[in-house]
Amino acid sequence: MLASPILKAGKCLSEDTVQEIKDFYQSDENSRIMAGMKDTVTAVIDGQKVKKQKRLLLFNLNDLYINFKEGKNDDIVGFSTFAKLRPVNCILAGKSGTHSVCVCTIHQNRKLMLDAINISRLTHQLQTPINDYKDCLKVVMCNNPSVKCHFNECSECPDEQNLVDILDKLLSDKLITSVLFSTWKTNDRATLCTQKLPADEFLTELCSKLKQLNPHNFIAKEQTNYMTKRKDTLRDDEIIVELDFAENYAFIVQEAAQAFHFNNDQCTIHTIVYYYRSGAEVKHQSVVALSDCLSHDTTAVYVIQKILLQRVQEKHNVKKVIYFTDGAKQHFKNRYQMANLLLCHEKDFGIKAEWHFHATAHGKGVCDGVGAAFKREATRASLQAPASRAILTSKSLFDWAQNRFDNIDVFFYSKEMYKKAAAHFNRRFKSAPAIPNIQKSHSFVPLDGKTLIIKTFSSSENNTIFTCR
């Protein structure tokens, strides 16, 4: 008779640790939501199938695991467990359906240059290998970099020539005299071009590009961290509002005539997610604004703000709103919007406000997922509807959406509302003061009705005081 094995209980992770790992995967620093209508996966939650928007992981699993373990003294979470707990909607680059667009050209061009020389393989024999642009930045900064290091203002940082010398020797050892690489160039449109440079010129160009990347990369991380911190410390009388224009929705109908393909009728879709505190928990509400007005400018944003804040105040006692958006100059980051924020927001809406911007090309977030989900359902409903109930106008789209979504609030504003607001704002916008360094700044907080605190990044200890005369 063989003895029966004694079952031993293995180490079990606490629910808090499991949730921490899942939140880590889904943080904006480690993954980015995909905005396409078809960028979804089906997950089983509480026995029911639910569609979830995909999130594209920005690193491989090994790098994510290393980042997760940083600052943790325990080894309770092994790599296999960490990988197993990856949420089903967090997908790796290279999988089917991971064609990613709208990436940051500042980051992407540096990555393309490093890929051209296969930086990880080129430096694998060094005592400290260089695997990506982050490692390159570490070489040209102090060991414990300060804000000045990230903004290339530190006199103690190593000379960038050190990096040039290291890479130049490695390229010379392999008899590489020139480098062929790809780069995105933008004029009226973006084009992927191919360049060939002598090795020494390539390295000089690379270091110059890394110097430009340093502050941009720092601001991108700081703004993401600041938003997370503000969510965690949100007060009962505050809300955080993320908002953005989605791509216009083009109407579609089943069995359409051939000429319908050339129909240009569209509907503006503006997506909003606002966060509020309910007891000890921070909750969120998704909102979609629809319109037959196709203007995407400061006036349209104001009309949306007015309707949104009226609806929010019906449900919550709000004294302050904190806006987080991308830096689109046409409708968000311009002197007209800042004039509304500084001179008129509290007067018009009865609520104080501040506005924070993500770094250039880093504004992708939850709003994109809301827009994708809305358009996906609208397209499906349009194709399923008979001709007599076809969704062919912005108003009919709004009527359909009102009864379709349980977790998305929907409202409509018309061309007439926009034109009325535009006529009212003509005088205000003509006298809007120019804001110094507006494109380089990412935080704007009104101090009173005439004074604006401007910061390069939201958590900065340094600021510029702008007074409207």
Distances (CA, A) of 420 to 77, 100, 342: 59, 39, 22
Tell me, what's the pLDDT at 189? 67
pLDDT above 60: residue 100: no
Other C-beta atoms closer than 10 Å to the C-beta of 138 total: 15
Comparison of pLDDT for 187 and 310, the residue scoring more? 310
Tell me, what's the pLDDT at 99? 47
- Provide the residue count of the chain: 469
For 278, phi then psi, to 5°, come to -125, 95
Tell me, what's the pLDDT at 277? 94
Angle between helices 61-69 and 15-26 (to 10 degrees): 120
Domains of the chain and CATH, by start? 15-91 (no CATH), 105-220 (no CATH), 234-467 (3.30.420)
CA distance linking residue 334 with residue 164, whole number of Å: 39
Highest mean pLDDT among 11-15, 411-415, 446-450: 411-415
pLDDT averaged over every residue in the chain: 87
Nearest in space to 242 (alpha carbons), one of 346, 339, 365, 340: 365
Backbone angle region of 94, left / alpha / beta, with phi > 0 → left and psi within -120 to 50 → alpha:
left
On whether the CB atoms of residues 4 and 72 are closer than 8 A, the answer is: no
Assign 3-class secondary structure to 183-213. EEEECCCEEEEEEEEEHHHHHHHHHHHHHHH
Instruction: Write the CB contacts of 454 (distance below 8 Å, at least 6 apart in sequence).
Output: 435, 436, 437, 441, 443, 444, 463, 464, 465, 466
Compute and round to an integer the Cα radius of gyration of the chain. Answer: 25
pLDDT in tens, 264-321: 789 999 999 999 999 889 999 999 999 999 999 999 999 999 999 999 999 999 999 9
Other C-beta atoms closer than 10 Å to the C-beta of 386 total: 8
CA distance linking residue 341 with residue 51, whole number of Å: 37
Model pTM score:
0.79
For 20, phi then psi, to 5°, come to -60, -40
